[in-house]
Chains A and B, each alone.
Chain A
């Protein structure tokens, strides 16, 4: 546990260092208001990364989250156009996202198809469905009601609702992962599936639950995304699934399952969000972002591997003292 904590501490240090470097040249970047803006901007990534985290904890991966987000976002925009009230829209997108996640989860659980194959397939299917629904047409800002667009942007206590939602999701996950039986099951299934089965935990059902959670969050984020950017079309959040996985990897979520924490995951997402927002401020072309994020992933995995790499058995007495 100390090892995990130190991993998160190092990530936190890296983030602080990053902020410090930016602040030496542009102090305004670390002003509370701007940090709130950066946090809000990173909210969808945080929300999706947390959903992805529980999926990865159970030894799976969900590549369909961005497509799920786009489909749910489009449905939200269309319902808005049809005059459906916002609370109902929220309910529907969350249910829809959960259902799309359940499709993934059921195929993993009941048919035993590897998750990477399932979600690779559903990712194209979900996104393609948007096209079938809309014929490729965009829904633009002027076709959305003000209430629809305003909700995530409404500022409460200095932070837009979208940011507060991210805060709530983080808090919810902290409880889910650390303080509930389901959270424990996520770790057990990823750590040793045989042990999980033996203790009466169904591996498939737990994995399915992770997909449903990931899907529901993606659906919810779909509304947030469309409302915030005030546009919906087939390709929104294209390739975003990789940012989500990247945030998890940087946050120290082990791709082999069973290890990782909410704090790490959130910081992984924040790291990417801060880089993205800081680049234009310090005058580096935003085109650098992709390469930086790639390098961060590689550094993170190299770092994690070095810490958890296999050592020899400790048999010699004096070696025991040294270790």
Chain B
């Protein structure tokens, strides 16, 4: 630095102006948590059955499987992609498990095949998107039909039933007291994905790609490899969800998990993940899953039918995004 005056050079820039704690307090996640707590309190007043631990545990089944996929989907959406084929992957994975059961394979093989099918479907999506550079939204609309379509070809209007006893544990078993296998899996996966997204190099790359994929590539990041891995992850979590769901239902039909892709995306967006990519967090998705679970459960206790709940979820999805924007407009 030859010419600039000394106080101009190398001036100290503070690391942070706002502490992470303060930032967290003002975050979307904090707001959502508040909503969740409010719903929880309201529910516990509305129905005497709500606070029963076993009831709460039962209620968790309505979101754990979707939440598993939502974790991976959150990372994928943060990276600027989307996978609409997840529910169809469940259908195909479950169908493969059913076929393996008919062939007389043991439980561990069924589980392995379910997971492998998920991975294979994810790899197929990943290849088309990351390998051939096709837009993920249309690719996965295509594979959404293709994967479930294969299920229909194999099963028609039939069903696989009579899964072995051993499989039941994944969807119906309890690890300890009221904590079901699925609930524990949900917690473990939340931690695993939380660490992966927020504490590893890989997670950092996901954010970089979501904010500006070109600049990420110009920074030496193997963008396509990251994208491919993300599709593998949604495939794998869909495979896991397929194992849990098949075990819980004890049967496979090609129409299994129909419409789940939209519920998963709703969960992710509700959790504060920008559908345009670049921002969002796993804690947000965890809270969103809990909020959606609580709403569904609370209304269920009040005998509100499922379709009405879906209206509320839909309104919640739009409302949480629209209200802050409306507020801004009104203030201006």
Contact stretch, chosen from B41-49, B60-68, B135-143, B163-171: B135-143
Q: Which B286-332 residues have C-beta < 8 A from chain A?
A: 305, 307-308, 310-311, 313-315, 317-318, 321-322, 325-326, 329
Cβ contacts under 8 Å, B318 to chain A: 107, 113, 117-118, 121-122, 125
Known interface pairs A107-B322, A136-B305, A288-B153. Does A242 touch B314 (Cβ–Cβ under 8 Å)?
A: no
- Chain A 127-140 per-residue mask, 1 if CB under 8 angstroms from chain B, else 0: 11101100010000
Instruction: Identify the closest chain B residue to A115 (Cβ).
Output: B275
Count, A-B residue pairs, CB within 8 A: 139
A301 near B149 with CB under 8 A, answer: no
Question: Shortest distance in angstroms between B87's beta carbon and chain A's nearest beta carbon?
Answer: 11
In the assembled complex, how far is the CB of residue A272 from the closest CB belonging to chain B, in whole angstroms? 10
Instruction: List A residues 275-289 near B (Cβ within 8 Å).
Output: 285, 287-289
Number of B residues contacting the other chain (C-beta, 8 Å)?
47
Q: Contact: A234 with B266, CB < 8 Å?
A: no
CB-based contact B144/A242 at 8 Å: yes
Q: Quick check: is A85 within 8 A (CB to CB) of the other chain? A: no
**B258 on interface, CB distance cutoff 8 Å:** yes
B134 on interface, CB distance cutoff 8 Å: yes
**Residue of B134, B262, B311, B329 touching A301 (CB-CB under 8 A):** B134
B175 in contact (CB, < 8 A)? no
| A255 contacts across to B, CB distance below 8 A | 135, 137-138
Question: Residue A124 at the B interface, CB < 8 A?
Answer: yes
A315 on the B face (CB < 8 A): no
Which of B145, B254, B314 is A121 in contact with, Cβ under 8 Å? Answer: B314
Alpha-carbon separation in the docked complex, A112 to B145 (Å): 30
Is A68's CB within 8 Å of the partner chain B? Answer: no
The answer to the question of B133 belonging to the interface, with a C-beta cut-off of 8 Å to chain A, is yes
Which residues of chain B have C-beta atoms less than 8 A from A291's C-beta? 145-146, 149-150, 152-153
| Residue A17 is within 8 A (CB to CB) of chain B in the complex | no
Please tell me if A245 contacts chain B, counting CB pairs below 8 Å: yes
B229 on the A face (CB < 8 A): no
CA distance A256 to B147 in the complex (A): 24
Tell me, yes or no, whether A111 is within 8 Å of chain B by CB: yes
Docked Cα-Cα span, A193 to B308, in Å, equals 38
A38 within 8 A of B: no
Choice from B142, B265, B322 contacting A298 with Cβ under 8 Å: B142
List the 7 closest pairs (A to B, CB-CB), nearest first: A291-B149, A294-B145, A294-B146, A128-B311, A290-B149, A124-B314, A297-B142
Ordered by A's residue number, 10 sampled pairs between the chains whose C-beta atoms are within 8 Å are A110-B329, A111-B321, A111-B322, A113-B322, A114-B276, A239-B258, A287-B157, A289-B149, A294-B144, A309-B133
